[in-house]
Structure 1
Amino acid sequence: MSYIVSHATKWYYDYMLLTYQYKLNPNPKQVVILETWGELLRRHWNYALGQRLDGLKRTRSRIDRCSLLSEPIGEIPSKVDYYTQASDLKQTSYLYPDYKNIYADCQQQNLMRLDKAWKRWLVPDKNGKRGGKPRFKKQGDISSFTFPRVNSPKAGAHLTGNILKLSKIGEIEVILHRPIPDGFEIKQATILSKADGWYCSFYAKDKTVPDALSVDKIKSATGIDVGLEKFLTTADGQSIEVPQYYRKAQSTLARIQRHLARLTKGSKNYQKQASKVARLHLHVARQRKEFHYHVAHWLVNSYDLIIFENLNIRGLARTRLAKSILDVAWSAFLEIMQAVAVKRGKLTLGVDPRGTSINCSGCGERVEKTLAKREHSCSCGLVIDRDWNSALNLLKRGSVGLPIPGCRGLDSSQPMKQQVSFVNLRCSR
């Protein structure tokens, strides 16, 4: 199983980059080659990262003092960056002949990944935030490598029908469960290993970008409030239940992990049991992703404008509700929903969530309530589900100045007790 549009989909003004992922069927000899490439690229990553850290340590000094007491005295090394490390690839293959068997572009892409991770750590983004420090990779951590050119004269990867020909690896059968649309230009191919086999992700360029819906053509809009009791609630009172895929798999996962803990680490039985654990995690992740796509397509088919709340999900994941929050994966869902909306020409808008669950959607009065209280009851007479009230506030906050009709939900002049209705999703991506 694979997904036509990944959460890493990117869109630009004149084209989109979509990810098409297919399973590969390599023979045993090719599997050995793929695993060997991953291990050699891991070792080269660790060497290149150590070279960068050593150069940083030897040249860094505090502003008000030198580092003679804590740093070795020696020749100051020259600056280490992607270009200096890429120029050393020829010497690496001379000293270690095994690297001659790896396609040169794959080694360069490995260094590019390190360079991006290094810059994210040292250089803050426009919001002043930086990424984590790049880490040394343990055995098996690097399970993917990229061919940056496909189907061009000097490319290392060529896709013809259902056969993928890779330089220095050979021809591998691709299980094309769906065709790549005509007119798409394949830019890159990434070979990656998962718990159930090897896959190839093709990054395709699509120049037929649908025009975004203009504001004056918006006919329907909604606000969505995500939660843990209900996955989301729309402004017209429809809700979707939380599937809890990880929670349901916990008992099975605990049993096979206990079995894994009793085995000798590194033995064949240990590897077989570890594969069972990894397959279960992969199955849960695929269930969750499929569910996210179903919900995203249902929303995009139903509304022209979808207003959501910009939550600090990373901060919420540090609370005692972390397991439930990570199980529903709000952040991944919002990325998928925005990608699907762009592909369909629909609009999405993120707004500030502060006060949406406290303020009354009918009169605007603040109604303080604890997290355990799931019903909003205001002095104006409005009694409504807490999440529905929040979705209505999100719709009002995000649709200010837009020429759209009412939310087809509550009429604040006629307060009454309302209950949300649940939606059964039976749609395909």
Structure 2
Amino acid sequence: MLLTYQYKLNPNPEQVVMLKTWGELLRRHWNYALDQRLDWLRRTRSRIDCCSLVCEPIGEIPSKPDYYTQALDLKKTKELFPDYKNIYADCQQQNLMRLDKAWKRWLIPDKNGKRGGRPRFKKRGDISSFTFPRVNHPKAGAHLTGNTLKLSKIGKIEVILHRPIPDGFEIKQATILVKADGWYCSFSLEDKTVPAVLPVDEIKTTTGIDVGLEKFLTTAEGQSIAVPQYYRASQATLARQQRKLSRKVQGSKNYNFQSNKVAKLHLHVARQRKEFHYQVAHWLVDSYDLIVFENLNIRGLARTRRAKSILDVAWGTFLEIMQAVAVKRGKHTRSVDPRGTSLNCSSCGERVEKTLAIRVHSCSCGLVIDRDWNSALNLLKRGSVGLPIPGCGGLDISQPVKQQVSYVNLRCSR
């Protein structure tokens, strides 16, 4: 099992200058290596027996560049530009590995036939992280001893260990990155043991969750969590600070100071949202052995009029966090097709047409419940197919006709 723990660093001013210099040199090397690959692609786009209608390159066609050829050129790079001698060699190789992965994601489709976007040239400050692939190894460039991180050619940096590293985990690599409020180090931890998954026969508690914009989610038991709307709550403050930024001279000290102030506000909103997601995920995993959720096309939904609200609740990030927490706890999660879950009756299965403005499901069978609650029950039905789980049906007409949705209050410390 792999975990990532992130700790804040406390470098001195000289080390901050050195870290920024490393990032700038790695950015330039990224752009040079990417230009090599794009130049080869332009020159070999046309076949030998025909000419391109757009343009035809003149000159010798270079050999195909890849990670290995570009890694071999690092020696020449250090001879031509001595500043690169001050960067740990493994960090430069990791920079080329990142480029190679991005290049392959663009040209080679995955098993679903999808490809990533074309790698881009980096502007100043875009590369804000670099990786030491080995930690606490005799030939490693990073060594963690207590609360001190010793980096090759940089020196010793104090690490604020706000939580201990779990026993039995081995530190595989360390990534140094900068955020709006300082420098951080992300340790990749590996444990050879695999969490024991709860057997299907021992699943006792199940639920389906329906995510939305009026309520963040609703479970099959009728419990709902309100939408916090962290971005909308901070929107007025962000707008005011961004207006101040627009009045500054770009590139000046005042501009950089105000830009960092805006970035800190965005970082605060992101941390609020992330903490809320983890609280909800842990509450669900603690309460249920099987969680069924809807497989939404969030990227498509984010192109609608409700894009700001959809991106503010961040359903995709929450579902990823919930699945990761469930794996660590040995619980089960299952995604199902959401089509028709809010229209079909969870009691009799009849289709009841209604618009998004209608928030109550009222069926001819006598069932009158909240629309999201009805959808969560249908999701639980679909996700429980093929599993030996009793009591996964919907509500019947013998239960109270009008149901009140209860709200679960989660307190955020931020």
2:276, 2:412 within 8 Å by CA — same for their partners in 1? no
1:153 corresponds to 2:100: no
Return the match for 1:319 from 288, 296, 304: 304
Alignment of 1:246 with 2:206, yes or no, is: no
Q: Note if 1:163 corresponds to 2:142.
A: no
Counterpart mapping for 1:19-418 below 5 A: 19-61=4-46, 65-67=50-52, 70-406=55-391, 410-414=395-399, 416-418=401-403
Give the whole-Å Cα distance in 2 for the aligned partners of 1:250 and 1:235: 33
Residues 260 and 36 of structure 1, relative CA distance in 2, 3 Å threshold = same
For residues 241 and 265 of structure 1, what CA distance do their matches in structure 2 show? Answer: 40
Structure 1 residues 104 and 96: alpha-carbon distance in aligned structure 2, compared to 1, 3 A threshold: same
The one-letter code sitting in structure 1 at the alignment partner of 2:163 is R
Conserved 8 A contact 2:366-2:397: no
Aligned to 1:11: none
Q: Report the RMSD for the aligned CA atoms in angstroms.
A: 1.5
List per-residue Cα deviations over 1:152-207 (Å, max 9, x = no partner). 11000000000000000000000000100111000000000000000000000022
CA apart distance, 1:402: 1.9
1:102, distance to aligned residue in structure 2 (A)? 0.3
Give the Cα–Cα distance (whole angstroms) in 2 for the partners of residues 24 and 241 of structure 1. 35
Contact 1:310/1:351 (8 A) holds in 2: yes
User: How far apart are 1:419 and its partner, in Å?
Assistant: 2.1
**Counterpart of 1:286 in structure 2: which amino acid?**
R
| Superposition deviation, residue 403 in structure 1 | 2.3
Contact 2:147–2:161 (CA under 8 A) maintained in structure 1: yes
> Which AA in structure 1 matches 2:104?
K
CA distance 1:401–1:412, change in 2 (3 Å): farther
1:371 deviates by 1.0
Return closer, same or farther for 1:254/1:402 CA change in 2, 3 Å cut-off: same
1:289 aligned partner, one-letter code = K
Taking the aligned partners of 1:151 and 1:342, their CA distance within structure 2 comes to: 28
Instruction: Compute the TM-score of the two structures, normalised by the length of structure 2.
Output: 0.97
Amino acid at match of 1:56: L
Deviations 1:96-118 (A, max 9, x none): 00000000000000000000000
Cα displacement (A) at 1:310: 0.5
Amino acid at match of 1:229: E
**Distance in 2 separating the partners of 1:162 and 1:42:** 29
Report the CA distance shift for 1:65/1:374 in structure 2 as closer, same or farther (over 3 A).
farther
Question: Structure 2 regions of 5+ residues with no counterpart?
Answer: none
User: Counterpart amino acid of 2:362?
Assistant: S
Assess, with a 3 A threshold, how the Cα gap between structure 1 residues 53 and 307 changes in structure 2: closer, same or farther.
same
State the distance in 2 between where 1:100 and 1:236 align.
62
Matched letter for residue 105 of structure 1: D
Question: Is the CA contact 1:235–1:407 (under 8 Å) kept in the aligned structure 2?
Answer: no
Aligned equivalents of 2:393, 2:15: Cα separation in 1: 58
Q: Aligned-pair distance for 1:401?
A: 2.6
Gaps of 5+ in 1: 1-15
Q: Secondary structure in 2 aligned to 1:149?
A: coil
Offset from partner CA, 1:265-303 (integer Å, 9 cap, x none): 111111110011000000000000000000000000000
